[in-house]
């Protein structure tokens, strides 16, 4: 079949404006590249944006998740309950502490970790529950808070997808014991690589800040500012998880441009919702009132009723110049977790169904309506509609 379009629609290109570029140049010219004044400014702005008392800029969401677990002294012999429908980092950080990830199935409607399934997975060894706001859809924070309180667990939210999300009127970032954001290149707010940890706890914030800089009592900027005081103490063996001023330079302007990019995402979301409404594809469910979806990924489920397998449809879209991605193959279907924790297909049937059928369409704050309609057009030609 001849291609119907030659337009290449990229998956999620970053939106970088003059502000980001000029600020990076200014940072380069400032004579201070690593963690310094721009990181502090970015942290202050992000704390104000989320309403969280503390924000700590890091080099990734993975680092934030790791420090969050360590802050709650999660370690060998402990268990951490999370969803299998996530990026491997969510589970890997638990393993890095010496703990065991315990998966629980997702809710078939929201594709988020089911609070009931999570509760059933809690044992006497469980120390933390880590729900993921999948694709930007906020979890039912109140349900997870109640679960955490009942079982005395730390509530750590993986908000890699959730800059902009709101659960029952409360901004994600100010709802958990610790919230962990990603600023990876495809995210709603990017610094290339990067992350942010937010918390209301002075103690967690103090630990995480020190742990992110080798366990050193004073960071490099503080030592530099206070001329003549080069000394520091190593309080414990920490990590090298700090964010650079070069990254924060991008982040500051990305934060300021969030509303404009969100408006673009809303527009593309609306086109997909409208254009795909009568096709036999599973689409993201609307959120209840009081919640705000962060619109990070627009993923559809390609089931047998579509006439396609997911992977054949991905290949077909690629021949039409349309880039897609898969978020995610359920973790228990990957060799490491399957073999190490003796997990088998059939244990988490809802996550497996989504894992087998899901594909993320091109989506992002830099996408035009025309590009979105191109994707819709190609899908409509490939998949017969219910009403046609």
Ligand X SMILES: Cc1ncc(COP(=O)(O)O)c(C=O)c1O
Query: Does 131 help bind ligand X (rule: CB under 6 A)?
Result: no
Query: Does 62 help bind ligand X (rule: CB under 6 A)?
Result: yes
Q: Which is nearer to ligand X, 218 or 334 (CB)?
A: 334
Runs of H (alpha helix) within the chain? 18-30, 37-50, 61-71, 88-97, 115-121, 141-151, 202-211, 220-225, 245-256, 258-276, 310-319, 335-340, 349-357, 369-382
Q: Give, in order, the Cα–Cα distances in Å from 373 to each of 6, 130, 298, 361, 380.
A: 14, 36, 14, 12, 10
Query: Does 360 help bind ligand X (rule: CB under 6 A)?
Result: no
Q: Which stretch binds ligand X (CB under 6 A): 9-17, 154-162, 220-228, 260-268?
A: 154-162
Q: Which of 302, 305, 289, 294 is nearest to 269 (CA)?
A: 294
Q: Which is nearer to ligand X, 243 or 279 (CB)?
A: 243
Residue 6 is classified by DSSP as -
Q: Which is nearer to ligand X, 90 or 97 (CB)?
A: 90
Query: Does 184 help bind ligand X (rule: CB under 6 A)?
Result: yes
* Known catalytic membership, residue 187: yes
Contact pattern for ligand X over residues 267 through 306, marking x by CB under 6 A? ----------------------------------------
Which of 126, 182, 212, 357 touches ligand X by CB under 6 A? 182
Distance of CA 182 to the CA centre of its chain: 5
CA gap 87, 101 in Å, rounded: 13
Contact pattern for ligand X over residues 233 through 252, marking x by CB under 6 A? --------------------
Query: Does 46 help bind ligand X (rule: CB under 6 A)?
Result: no
Query: Does 254 help bind ligand X (rule: CB under 6 A)?
Result: no
The residues, any chain, with a CB within 8 Å of residue 191's CB and separated by 6 or more, are 183, 243, 247, 248, 250, 251, 254
Which of 14, 36, 195, 282 touches ligand X by CB under 6 A? 195
Q: Which stretch binds ligand X (CB under 6 A): 9-17, 111-119, 158-166, 208-216?
A: 158-166
Task: Give me the least distance between CB of 134 and ligand X, in Å please.
Answer: 7
Task: Give me the least distance between CB of 73 and ligand X, in Å please.
Answer: 21
Task: Give me the least distance between CB of 224 and ligand X, in Å please.
Answer: 27
Ordered DSSP codes for 57-99? EES-HHHHHHHHHHHTT--TT-EEEE-SSS-HHHHHHHHHHT-
Residue 307 φ/ψ region, left for φ over 0, alpha for ψ in the -120 to 50 degree band, beta for the rest = left
Q: Alpha-carbon dihedral of residues 238, 244, 245, 251, nearest 10 degrees? A: -110
Q: Which stretch binds ligand X (CB under 6 A): 1-9, 81-89, 110-118, 208-216?
A: 81-89
Which of 50, 82, 86, 198 touches ligand X by CB under 6 A? 86
Task: Give me the least distance between CB of 159 and ligand X, in Å please.
Answer: 8
155 φ, ψ to 5°? Answer: -100, 110
Query: Does 208 help bind ligand X (rule: CB under 6 A)?
Result: no
Ordered DSSP codes for 335-376? HHHHHHTT--TTSSHHHHHHHHHEEEPS--TT--HHHHHHHH
Which of 160, 205, 292, 358 touches ligand X by CB under 6 A? 160
Task: Give me the least distance between CB of 172 and ligand X, in Å please.
Answer: 13
Instruction: Tell me how many degrees the CA angle 253-259-265 measures, rounded to the nearest 5.
Output: 115
Which of 12, 52, 81, 89 touches ligand X by CB under 6 A? 89
Please pick, among 125, 171, 187, 240, the residue that the annotation labels catalytic. Answer: 187
CA gap 377, 55 in Å, rounded: 43
Beta carbons of 135 and 297 less than 8 angstroms apart? yes
Q: Which residues of the shown chain bind ligand X in the complex (CB under 6 A)?
A: 60-62, 86-87, 89-90, 132, 158, 160-161, 182, 184, 195
Question: What residues act catalytically?
Answer: 187
């Amino acid at each position: 079949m001849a291609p119907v379009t030659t337009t290449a629609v990229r998956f999620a290109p970053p939106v970088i404006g003059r502000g980001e570029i000029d600020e990076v140049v200014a940072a380069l010219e400032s004579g201070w590249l690593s963690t310094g004044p721009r990181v502090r400014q970015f942290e202050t702005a992000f704390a104000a944006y989320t309403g969280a008392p503390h924000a700590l800029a890091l080099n990734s969401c993975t680092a934030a998740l790791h420090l969050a677990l360590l802050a709650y002294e999660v370690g060998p012999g402990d268990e951490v309950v999370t969803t299998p429908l996530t990026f491997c980092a969510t589970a890997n950080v638990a393993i890095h502490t010496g703990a065991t990830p315990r998966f629980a199935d997702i809710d078939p409607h929201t594709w988020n970790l089911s609070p009931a399934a999570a509760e059933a997975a809690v044992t006497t060894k469980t120390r933390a529950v880590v729900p993921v706001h999948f694709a930007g859809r906020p979890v039912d924070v109140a349900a997870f808070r109640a679960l955490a309180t009942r079982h005395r667990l730390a509530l750590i939210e993986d908000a890699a997808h959730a800059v902009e999300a709101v659960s029952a009127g409360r901004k994600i970032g100010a709802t958990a014991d610790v919230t962990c954001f990603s600023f990876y290149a495809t995210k709603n707010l990017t610094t290339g690589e990067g992350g942010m940890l937010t918390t209301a706890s002075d103690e967690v914030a103090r630990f995480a800040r020190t742990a992110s800089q080798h366990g050193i009592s004073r960071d490099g900027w503080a030592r530099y500012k206070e001329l003549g005081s080069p000394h520091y103490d190593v309080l414990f063996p920490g990590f090298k998880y700090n964010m650079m001023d070069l990254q924060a330079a991008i982040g500051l302007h990305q934060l300021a441009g969030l509303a404009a990019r969100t408006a673009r995402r809303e527009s593309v979301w609306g086109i997909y919702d409208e254009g795909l409404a009568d096709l036999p594809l599973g689409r993201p469910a609307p959120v209840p009132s009081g919640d705000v979806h962060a619109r990070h990924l627009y993923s559809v489920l390609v089931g047998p009723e579509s006439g396609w397998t997911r992977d054949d449809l991905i290949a077909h879209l690629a021949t039409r110049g349309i880039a897609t991605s898969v978020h995610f193959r359920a973790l228990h279907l990957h060799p490491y977790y399957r073999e190490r924790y003796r997990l088998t297909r059939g244990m988490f049937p809802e996550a497996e169904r989504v894992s087998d059928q899901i594909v993320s369409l091109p989506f992002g704050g830099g996408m035009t309506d025309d590009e979105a309609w191109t994707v819709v057009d190609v899908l409509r030609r490939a998949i017969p509609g219910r009403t046609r």
